[in-house]
Amino acid sequence: MCGRYTQRHTAAAVAERFGLDAAPDFITPRYNIAPSQSVPVITERDGRNALACKWGLVPFWSKDPALGHKLINAKAETLAEKPSFKYALEKRRCLIPADGFYEWDKRVKPSQPLFIRRRDDGLFAFAGLWEECKLLDGEVLRTCTLITTEPNELVGAFHHRMPVILRPEDEAAWLNPAAKAQEVLPLLRPYEDTELEAWPVSTAVNDVRREEPSLIARQT
């Protein structure tokens, strides 16, 4: 499971990296993004653009927003089979801008949080799905989920899953609304471990209310 990540770049940097016409004002640097919070996603809806979505997917057919608490991640291996994800896999794929994520090494007590990023500390895109549903009160709710896969060697040393980080050359294919699910599923593979690095960080990240640069500082 992936339950925390960072996006520390400015809106202008995100817009440039992902080919947006403008820098959305709801994109701000974040150091401890958590489920149920509003996060930016990149879609090909009426051209490439950014939407604000609540992290935790609620399928279009559901009227229960609480379902999102159970669907913050989606396993790449079973996406095409699960009723909660099948429609979004075909019609509502998205990129989730990020520049790092946290995992917890549970082999030690208490669990040790680690921060993982690209070695160049650059922006990247998690593979995601988004949805839009109308609740009983008429509110339109936009939500998303982050896709996970088997870990690479680096992450596998301390966790059994990792988020799917798309290669830059695969991002357009993942977003392509004309592509069928079976065509894009092969893109959902572990990222090269040689391009990532990880280090232990403070347990302060356990508190979702904390949101400061020191959260990613290396602990010795």
Task: Return the bridge partners of 93, or none.
Answer: 129
Give me the pLDDT at residue 65, please: 84
User: Residue 193 and residue 136: Cα distance in Å, rounded?
Assistant: 45
| Predicted local distance difference test score (pLDDT) of residue 47 | 85
Q: Which of 44, 77, 94, 103 is catalytic?
A: 103
Structure tokens at 157: 């040393």
pLDDT value for 128 = 98
What integer pLDDT is reported at residue 195 of this predicted model?
97
pLDDT given for residue 88 in this prediction = 96
Query: Domains of the chain (ranges plus CATH)?
Result: 5-216 (3.90.1680.10)
Catalytic residue among 2, 53, 94, 133: 2
Bridge partner residues of 96 (DSSP): 126
- Tell me, what's the pLDDT at 46? 79
**Number of C-alpha atoms within 13 angstroms, CB side, residue 117?**
20
Instruction: Identify which of 54, 49, 26, 42 has the alpha carbon closest to the alpha carbon of residue 128.
Output: 42
pLDDT, tens only, 195-207: 999 999 999 999 9
For tokens 């520049």, the residue is 99
- Per DSSP, the three-state class of 117 is strand
For residue 2, indicate whether it is catalytic: yes
- Look up 53 and say whether it is catalytic: no
Q: What is the pTM of this model?
A: 0.96
- At 91-145, the pLDDT tens digits run 999 999 999 999 999 888 999 999 999 999 999 999 999 999 888 787 889 999 9
Alpha-carbon distance 98 to 96, whole Å? 6
